[in-house]
Amino acid sequence: MDTQTILDRINRRRFLQATGAAAASAAFLAACGNTTPGSTGGNGQLVLQQWYHQYGEAGTEQAAKRYAKEYTQTSINLVWKPGDYFTPLNAALLSGNPPDTFEGWLYADQVNAGLIEPLDDILAPMKDDFSASSLIPYTYNGKVYAIPMIVDTGLLYYRKSILTKAGVKPPETMDELIDAANKLTTGNQKGLFIGNDGGIGALQQIAPWSAGSDFLTADNKIVFNNDRTVLAYKKVRELYQSKSLLLGYTTDWADPGAFISGATAIQWGGLWSMPAIIKGLGDDFGVVPWPKLDAQGTPATFSGGWGAMVAAKGKHVQEAKAFTKWLWIENTKDQQDWSLNYGFHLPPRKSAAASATKLQSGPAADAVSILNKYGKPNPPAWDTTMGTALTDAVTNIVKNGADAKTELTKAEAKCQAELQRIVK
């Protein structure tokens, strides 16, 4: 996963607010050359178009192209999209001339607009082999609209040697983390890095989860406006004011550069970064979940990733579903390669995860245990309009010292209005 994936999910504008959809789609497709979805190649074989965003790990593009070449039922024209992925993707989906299959995240608006094809029929024979949590982000009104490609999670990475020298133990509560960050801040080293925004993006959901709070119930009720969430955000503000946070680094929290370079002793980061950390630091690191807020809280982290989708308005839906089934349901060899050889991710299929030897020892095994115990996914009904309302509230609380209860009440009203609009 590239460094902006999680941050983009938080900040991306709502799906159906793309402007100039048809024009943007036409311009993008023209720039790609002969990439018309569902066209016929020179050998007379049907050509399906598959879109990926640009991953940050070396070798990912070559791997994706290799998988496409292995498929023999149709030709696959793979489009690797650097930079802004979602604007041209959304425009293409809305234009009526979409890619046949693509990776993304599911939102209720997409389903309501009839843009995404349900995939229950191809998933059914193997559904029990997918972890239940991996399917939650792609399930809406009882139907599954994407096949999980990878499962990612967040971890608190810490330097063993630095903590040992300072007499600091891996933190188990937020107060212990604040204390540790202060003690570990010396010279050119900060104690903690949770993003250049001071943790607003990374922690706006993690912190309430660590307090035992949540955002949406299974039956789509807003539940975050409560005393525990208020306390969690106040603690994030306390951390922000502690002067122990690394701010303004050249990369953000989803990249391990600050941790590897020694600019910080502890960093919130992704499982995907672990191979680079091993290469840079050897075994001089450990991982823990985000600490519980207090004795009444629970350790916390996210469970997320990318899903393979089929455009409902594509010209060759059944052929696209057949390719998606082959690659992301049946083809465990390539699924393991994708998950384990270009950064670390947990394969969504239980059988593939069970045989993933790279995740069975050391910090990688600890990370899998953390994900399985504490990982929480976002349901499709939680969309970017709600995320923006929450981000605005947390920013005012953490950076501006605004009253947490007042900000959460305003955010709740906005989220409730959005929920009523999208839930059908």
Average pLDDT over residues 281-302: 98
Is residue 309 pLDDT above 90, yes or no?
yes
In this prediction, residue 422 carries a pLDDT of 86
Mean of the pLDDT values across residues 203-227?
95
Tell me how crowded residue 399 is: count the other CB atoms within 10 A of its CB: 14
What confidence score (pLDDT) does residue 96 get? Answer: 83
Virtual torsion, Cα 213, 218, 223, 227, nearest 10 deg:
-20
267 vs 384, residue with greater confidence: 267
- With contact defined as beta carbons under 8 Å apart, do 30 and 68 qualify? no
pLDDT at site 423: 82
- Residue 278, C-beta contacts closer than 8 angstroms, at least 6 positions apart: none
Lowest-pLDDT choice from 33-42, 223-232, 296-305: 33-42
pLDDT at 287: 98
pLDDT surpasses 50 at 24: no
pLDDT at 56: 83
Task: Record the tokens describing residue 148, joined without a space.
Answer: 């999980």
| Structural domains for the chain | 5-152+304-376 (3.40.190.10), 153-302+381-422 (3.40.190.10)
- Report percent pLDDT > 90 for the chain: 80
pLDDT of 44 over the 50 cut: yes
- Burial of 65 by CB count in 10 Å (0-12 exposed, 13-18 middle, 19+ buried)? middle
**Percentage above 70 pLDDT, the chain:** 90
Question: What pLDDT does residue 40 have?
Answer: 58
pLDDT tens for residues 315-324? 999 999 999 9
Q: Is 230 helix (H, G, I), strand (E, B) or coil?
A: helix
Residue 37 pLDDT > 70: no
Q: pLDDT at residue 276 above 60?
A: yes
Short-list 92, 109, 93, CA closest to 13: 109
pLDDT tens-digit profile of 159-172?
Answer: 999 999 999 999 99
The sign of the CA dihedral 226, 7, 398, 236 is positive
| pLDDT for the residue numbered 43 | 60
Mean pLDDT of the chain: 89
pLDDT tens for each residue of 293-302: 999 999 999 9
Q: Which of 3-12, 90-99, 219-228, 359-368 has the lowest mean pLDDT?
A: 3-12
What is the H or E stretch that residue 265 is in? strand 264-270
Average pLDDT in the 120-124 region? 97
- Give the span between the Cα atoms of 85 and 128, in whole angstroms: 31
H-helix segments, 12-128: 21-31, 60-70, 86-95, 108-112, 120-123
Has residue 32 got a pLDDT over 50? no
Angle at 335 between CA 329 and CA 341, to 5 degrees: 175
pLDDT tens readout for residues 341-354: 998 999 999 888 88
Residue 173 DSSP one-character state? B
Residue 26 has a CB neighbour count (10 Å cut-off) of 15
